[in-house]
């Protein structure tokens, strides 16, 4: 995440490394950390960023466009399909591209897979994924002016035949698969071959950056998409180079930066390929090391399923190779989906139920028989990729005009602004051709909203960005705890609740009436129920289909969902707002086409995602106003502060959440308001002891060894804050209780201790979100529990509930993995100890409903 960088990534940026120097055609590299030169072994283990300079790769570097250019890449090891932050100093202020020219004083960035056999330690330009967008100065081929062809390009050139038939140079693409796409062979042009759009990359798939601009101070930055063999078989990066399942690295690749000055050789502007030698010879390159793609566990290893929260998926992906290399050697397969369904399945206590990953407790019928081990602390974030496009009416200061096409990197959002984005309340969130009168005089998108402009940097007010993709956010489809948390955050705010009820904001903007929580103002006659666990598009607007022509457009086809939070982040990295394009009557079948992504310099898209995905793709994230009235970014410190302010969810005291309406949250000035815990939940009543042991081992690894931050396999990826110590204690206790197990038996509750008939939770609940009290489900159960193989029994034998048995197991069970503290209760957090006492006093525990 690039706004208010989390301390972990800020530290990585400080690292400098791989300062290249070309001597006799060889590149020598040194990693420095704080100015201290380290060994090759330390570099291999610790390097996470690299810095290269113009001096390193070109004997003619003094005549390069920017002799003082220094480029830093945020990560070079342990790479997956992700984003990298590329920043630089020593450039010259850029001018933007036009239809006739690529612009002036800019950089181009590409990914290449092969080494140049004639220049060891450097990339081969024929292996670079480059040219797909066909813009001036950014193709692989082109006609050449007389006297402009370098000797190194002659073998790829068709000589001029006449004044009307000039020379033509084309740099072939040599794929990692062994195939070559070439439009010039033996000095003759090959008919029908397009080196820019081919079987290996097109404008829809290429990750190249044809124009990256520099500011007036000579600095700049952009985010670059790194592709593995999964996204680009032509590059093959990360492909397995060994049959060893424990291998920690795959095929390496290169990140290449090509500086472009004011004009190409023999031309009046930049119109030629960056791969032509006069441009290519000034390139800067950084070696990229990848994790191996594909199976990293031994074939035949036992497979265990995890189900539920996407929030923990990146961490599980990192932990998996270490877990399957352990003594049990199990392969864990995570099926992301609705957390409520996962905990319901886990609570059924069958032998084949997946381990549930959730942020909220079970809330279905019957007893909650699960133990909850904290395994992750992350966040829900609003990410954006928005480049400056200042107004041209004479009102914008010259310095702001000079920053045109450079990215905006700071945004503040309130619950009311998020409510507007979630409810299709901006004009452009609905199809242009539709009747939008019910939205009145609302702004066309967020960036024209005075409510937004009042709290953000004045530079936002200079922009004239009319993108559909900032009239709302890219949102994931389906039900989730993320949706519950976000709506609860919105509904805990008085201004947001009033707006949703139908009251205009201070500038006259009104909620889309179909999303109004006031039944009298909702055209359907029914209030839009909030909070909820999904992101519906309630407006029924539709542009009718035309006979023999375009199909109908509704609010979903106009602004489609993404498959998940990661997909929303990935599209933001690529500047792809999933904007509906033109109708193609010649398609098979006829259909609306997909718009190509917007390249850096012309991006404008927002998305709801999570902290791990935002960091994976190096996205800028918004600061959110917390219940204490402070705008906070999702740094590790802010997540830890939120964890300290979390309170129990309903009466399930094993599960905590940041409840915006709670006194604790309202006092937490440094807390990020959408911090999210993730729990591994399983039933100790599962009869299969081997399954219980495997899931207990997962809990222990996730809470201990898996909490070491880093980019290597088995470590905790950026975007997660390490678990607080008290959470780790709870995880160990839950793992022990699960491993020891409990066995149900039939019993009759004591008449002297009848179960409560029901109950209510306060208005500060995570699902209540500032509304009235939320009724919890009543439960009746006639089961008690006895330990399986020595586990603890209920704390109160007179009230033999499953909850009491679990409480006793959490408090008293002990294995060699537990701390040497005597009785485990001494190490438990106060809240958990209180839960144990409560569980011993009551037969049944009322629960807060998960869904509303």
The average confidence (pLDDT) of the chain is 83
Q: Is the pLDDT of residue 842 over 80?
A: no
Closest Cα to residue 539, out of 447, 455, 429, 615? 429
| Cβ atoms 96, 203 nearer than 8 A | no
Whether 363 and 849 have beta carbons less than 8 Å apart is answered as: yes
Backbone angles phi, psi at 77, to 5 degrees: -130, 155
**Which residues lie below 8 Å from residue 79, measured CB to CB, with a gap of 6+?**
226, 228, 237, 238, 288, 289, 290, 291, 711
**Residues 129-181: tens digit of each pLDDT:** 999 999 999 999 999 988 899 999 999 999 998 888 899 999 999 999 999 99
Q: Which contiguous run of DSSP H or E holds residue 422?
A: helix 415-422
Report the chain's C-alpha Rg in angstroms. 29
Query: CA-CA distances (angstroms) from residue 761 to 157, 343, 652, 771, 848?
Result: 76, 21, 11, 11, 7
Q: Report which of 171, 242, 322 is spatially closest to residue 716, judged by C-alpha positions.
A: 322
- Taking only the tens place, the pLDDT of each residue in 9-26 is 333 332 223 233 322 222
pTM: 0.83
Q: Tell me which DSSP letter residue 140 carries.
A: S
Tens digit of pLDDT for each residue in 732-768? 999 999 999 988 763 333 333 333 333 333 334 565 3
Q: What pLDDT, on the 0 to 100 scale, is given for residue 809?
A: 65
Q: Answer yes or no: is pLDDT of 491 > 70.
A: yes
Most confident of 398-407, 486-495, 772-781: 486-495
Mean pLDDT of 316-343: 85
Give the DSSP letter of residue 81. Answer: S
3-state secondary structure 812-825: HCCCCCCCCCCCHH
Residue 462 falls in which region: left (phi positive, over 0), alpha (psi -120 to 50) or beta? alpha
CA-based nearest residue to 479, from 528, 531, 532: 532
More confident residue, 78 or 767: 78
Phi and psi dihedrals of 282, rounded to 5? Answer: -95, 10
Residue 767 has what pLDDT?
A: 54
For residues 787-808, b (16+ Cβ closer than 10 Å) or e, as one string?
Answer: bbeebbbbbbeebbbbbbbbbb
> Strand, coil or helix: what is 593?
strand
Q: CA angle, corner 831, sides to 829 and 836, nearest 5?
A: 95
Q: What average pLDDT does the segment 759-784 reach?
A: 37
Q: What length does the chain have?
A: 852
CA 57 – CA 128 distance, rounded (Å): 17
Residue range 106-123, pLDDT digits in tens: 999 999 999 999 888 999
Q: Which tens digit of pLDDT belongs to each residue from 254-267? A: 999 999 999 999 99
Per DSSP, 63 falls in state: G
| Tokens 């066309």 -> residue | 444
HSE value, Cβ hemisphere, 13 Å, CA-based, for 713: 19
Bridge partners (DSSP) of residue 355 are 306
Q: Regarding predicted confidence, which is higher, 846 or 332? A: 332
């Amino acid at each position: 995440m690039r706004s208010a960088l989390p301390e972990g990534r800020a530290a990585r940026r400080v690292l400098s490394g791989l300062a290249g120097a070309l001597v006799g055609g060889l590149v020598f590299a040194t990693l420095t950390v704080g100015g201290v030169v380290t060994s090759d072994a330390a570099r291999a283990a610790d390097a996470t960023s690299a810095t290269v300079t113009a001096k390193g790769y070109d004997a003619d570097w003094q005549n390069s466009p920017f002799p003082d250019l220094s480029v830093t890449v945020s990560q070079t090891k342990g790479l997956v399909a992700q984003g990298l932050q590329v920043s630089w100093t020593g450039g010259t202020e850029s001018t933007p591209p036009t239809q006739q020219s690529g612009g002036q004083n800019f950089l181009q960035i590409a990914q290449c897979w092969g080494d140049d056999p004639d220049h060891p330690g450097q990339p081969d330009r024929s292996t670079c994924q480059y040219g797909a967008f066909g813009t001036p100065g950014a193709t692989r081929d082109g006609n050449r002016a007389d006297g402009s062809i370098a000797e190194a390009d002659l073998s790829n050139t068709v000589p001029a035949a006449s004044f009307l038939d000039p020379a033509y140079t084309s740099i072939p693409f040599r794929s990692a698969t062994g195939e070559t796409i070439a439009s010039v062979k033996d000095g003759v042009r090959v008919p029908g071959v397009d080196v820019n759009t081919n079987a290996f990359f097109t404008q829809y798939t290429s990750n190249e950056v044809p124009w990256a601009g520099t500011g007036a101070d000579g600095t700049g930055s952009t985010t670059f998409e790194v592709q593995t063999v999964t996204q680009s078989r032509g590059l093959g990066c990360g492909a397995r180079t060994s049959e060893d399942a424990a291998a920690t690295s795959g095929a390496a690749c290169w990140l290449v930066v090509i500086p472009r000055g004011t004009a190409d050789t023999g031309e009046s502007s930049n119109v030629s390929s960056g791969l032509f030698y006069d441009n290519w010879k000034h390139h800067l390159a950084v070696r990229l090391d990848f994790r191996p793609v594909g199976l990293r566990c031994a074939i035949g290893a036992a497979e265990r399923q995890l189900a539920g929260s996407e929030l923990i998926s990146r961490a599980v992906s990192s932990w998996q190779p270490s877990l399957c290399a352990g003594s049990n050697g199990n392969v864990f397969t995570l099926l992301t989906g609705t957390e409520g369904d996962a905990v319901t399945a886990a609570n059924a206590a069958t032998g084949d139920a997946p381990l549930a990953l959730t942020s909220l407790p079970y809330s279905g019928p019957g007893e909650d028989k699960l133990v909850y081990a904290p395994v992750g602390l992350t966040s829900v974030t609003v990410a954006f990729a928005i480049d400056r496009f200042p107004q041209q009416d004479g009102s914008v200061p010259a310095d702001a005009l000079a920053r045109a096409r450079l990215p905006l990197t700071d945004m503040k959002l309130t619950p009311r602004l998020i409510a507007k984005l979630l409810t299709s309340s901006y004009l452009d969130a609905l199809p242009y051709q539709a009747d939008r009168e019910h939205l009145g005089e609302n702004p066309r998108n967020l960036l024209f909203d005075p409510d937004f402009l009042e709290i953000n940097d004045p530079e936002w007010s200079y922009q004239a960005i009319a993108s559909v993709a900032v009239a709302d956010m890219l949102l994931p489809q389906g039900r989730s705890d993320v949706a519950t948390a976000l709506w609860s955050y919105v509904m805990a705010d008085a201004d947001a609740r009033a707006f949703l009820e139908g009251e205009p904001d201070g500038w006259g903007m009104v909620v889309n009436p179909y999303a109004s929580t006031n039944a009298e103002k909702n055209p359907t006659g029914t209030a839009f129920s909030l909070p909820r666990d999904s992101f519906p598009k309630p407006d029924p607007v539709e542009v009718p289909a035309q006979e023999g022509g375009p199909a109908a457009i509704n609010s979903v086809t106009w602004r489609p969902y993404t498959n998940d939070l990661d997909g929303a982040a990935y599209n933001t990295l690529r500047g792809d707002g999933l904007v509906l394009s033109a109708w193609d009557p010649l398609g098979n079948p006829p259909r609306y086409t997909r718009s190509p992504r917007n390249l850096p310099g012309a991006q404008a898209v927002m998305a709801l995602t999570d902290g791990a995905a935002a960091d994976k793709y190096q996205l800028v994230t918004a600061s959110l106003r917390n219940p204490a009235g402070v705008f906070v970014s999702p740094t590790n410190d802010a997540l830890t502060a939120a964890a300290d302010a979390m309170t129990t969810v309903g009466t399930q005291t094993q599960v905590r959440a940041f409840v915006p309406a709670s006194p604790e949250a309202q006092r937490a000035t440094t807390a990020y308001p959408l911090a999210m815990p993730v729990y591994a939940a399983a039933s100790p009543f599962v009869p299969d002891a081997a399954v219980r042991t495997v899931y207990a081992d997962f809990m222990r690894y996730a809470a201990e060894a898996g909490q070491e931050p880093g980019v290597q396999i088995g470590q905790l990826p950026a975007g997660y804050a390490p678990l607080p110590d008290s959470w780790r204690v709870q995880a160990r206790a839950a793992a022990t209780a699960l491993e020891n197990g409990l066995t149900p038996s039939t019993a009759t509750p004591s008449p002297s201790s009848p179960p409560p008939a029901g109950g209510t939770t306060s208005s500060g609940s995570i699902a209540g979100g500032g509304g009235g009290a939320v009724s919890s489900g009543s439960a009746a159960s006639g089961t008690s529990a006895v330990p399986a193989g020595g586990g603890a029994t209920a704390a109160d034998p007179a009230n033999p509930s499953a909850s009491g048995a679990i409480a006793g197991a959490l408090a008293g069970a002990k294995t060699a993995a537990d701390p040497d503290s005597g009785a485990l209760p001494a190490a438990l957090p106060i809240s958990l100890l209180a839960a144990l006492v409560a569980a011993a006093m009551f037969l049944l525990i009322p629960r807060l409903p998960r869904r509303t």
